[in-house]
Structure 1
Amino acid sequence: MGVMSETISVCCTACGRRHRYTAPSYPCVCGQPVAPALDPEGSASPVTHRAWDEEWITVRCAACGAGSPWPRPELGCPCGTVLCVPVDATAPGRSERAPGSRVPAHRAVPIRTARDAVTAAVLYLRGLGHRDVRRADQRPLSGVGLAAPGIVVQVDPAADPASVRDVECLWLTAMAESARCVYFSLAGYAADARVRADLLDVPLFVLERTGVPRPANASAVALDATAD
């Protein structure tokens, strides 16, 4: 068996309460799940602001050596403080796969926050073969814009269904960059948005709370068929 995800004790900087934290695992491009190496000697720090570049860390696979950006480990304390869990940036990720087993490239992560929705979309895009996913240069009207070579993506964690304007703006952005586009929405799509997406051949996905993107139109079904 491979090495299981590491668990360390994390102390809340606000109330002093201690928690047991287990590192989440993510799929490497080679198919092997890896988890960030935690630093048991390090100290947690409170998350006081959000910045895209600080939301991700590089996890290097111990099996193939590839490094990929993954969400920074965080822990929520019941007192309301969000803690940044210390990691050992010099150590490779820890393997979780038994020898000879095959792991699909896409793994779902439960969606509880807007950040989780973005993570679920990134995981799915990597399953489609888009490894270099980054924050888009142009911010969409709502949600979060992502980009990779040849594709632009909108992730909408809003409580209301995506509108026809949202779909049209994403399509126009993709046309300007000569790229494909994909829309991920947590609340689904308005009826006219679905109609327009079908006309423009924009794949629509609904993000289930389990973290699995569900195709919402024919274009998405065709795209989903190409996923690993």
Structure 2
Amino acid sequence: MSTAYQKMTSLCMNIKNEIYTDIEIHNQHILPSFIDLPNLSASIYSTELCNRLRTFLTACPPAGPSPPVAELVIVTNDFQRDLASWKISPVKGGVDAKELFHLYILVWIQDKRLSLLETCKLDKVKWSGVRTQHSTTPFVDDMYDRLRETLNDYELIICRWPEYVFVLENAVADVEKAVVEALDKQYADVLLPLKDHLTPKKFGLKYVQKLAKRSAWEFC
């Protein structure tokens, strides 16, 4: 899978280089002026590349923003950005990096959210009495590391498409809420056996009457 993504990344870079070469040829004024070689070739290349990328992603759907996948996302976005900077006219059906990866990114974030929420379940929370160097439980430290790792994984995507911050922020907020709820339940179970000792005893009426009679006899 990693090799396949690397090959698609190389394909994107090679096609971009071909278009840049056509721009250099056009600037040499070798062809008649009415032939706009860069735009002609870019329309063909971009459409063909988009179709190949879409077919490839369907056949080998990315499970998450792993390094090979992230590299393909970056190169695809750079391809689109470079064509715009070279004054290449947008092509209908051409490469649109965000459109190609949009649904996958949403699925990645949702899957990560569900995975972290599963970790927060009460039966997965252990070692409540153990403390770490930060005066927290291993569960809290582990969840903090997982959240930090998640944010780092999506840094490259957020830098290119900041609108995904809101989706990621909502997922992180749900996980933080689940962490607090898990800790509440965990410590509630720890304190439950102590409730009998903390709650004032309630005596029945007969027991109170018996004590009263005993006190009366003692007084006599």
Would the TM-score normalized by the shorter structure come out above 0.5?
Answer: no
Q: Greater strand percent: which structure?
A: 1
| Greater Cα radius of gyration, structure 1 or 2 | 2
Calculate the TM-score normalised by the size of structure 2: 0.23
Q: Greater helix percent: which structure?
A: 2
